[in-house]
Amino acid sequence: MPAGRYKSRSLRRVFTKVISKTKLTYKKRKPKIAHCANCKTPLKGVPRLRPHQAQNTPKTQKRPQRPFGGKLCSKCTRAKIKSSIQE
């Protein structure tokens, strides 16, 4: 019988191979994929990392290197830049 803290499905269950058998280990789930603030499509180039993992990765791997990178998709970024120029 698992301990009470493991009965919840908030932790994902991973079977790891040990020498004589397979052992059940519990790991934290990955966060949801980042979405565009404007059109809600999934963002490309933004990794699914927990805050502690993101803290240890370089800044260049966390988001695209363009204006509004990590917040807006490329289509919405183009539209926003065009509208700001036209104003």
Q: What is the pLDDT of residue 1?
A: 82
CB 11 within 8 A of CB 29: yes
| Other C-beta atoms lying within 10 Å of the C-beta of residue 76 | 16
CB 32 within 8 A of CB 48: yes
* 83: pLDDT strictly greater than 90: yes
Q: pLDDT (tens digit, 9 = 90+) per residue, 1-13?
A: 889 989 999 999 9
CB 26 within 8 A of CB 13: yes
Q: pLDDT (tens digit, 9 = 90+) per residue, 12-36?
A: 999 999 999 999 999 999 999 999 9
Residue that is written with structure tokens 């493991």 in the block: 6
Helix (H/G/I), strand (E/B), else coil: 86: helix
Q: pLDDT (tens digit, 9 = 90+) per residue, 33-69?
A: 999 999 999 999 999 999 999 999 998 898 889 999 9
Residue that is written with structure tokens 């698992």 in the block: 2
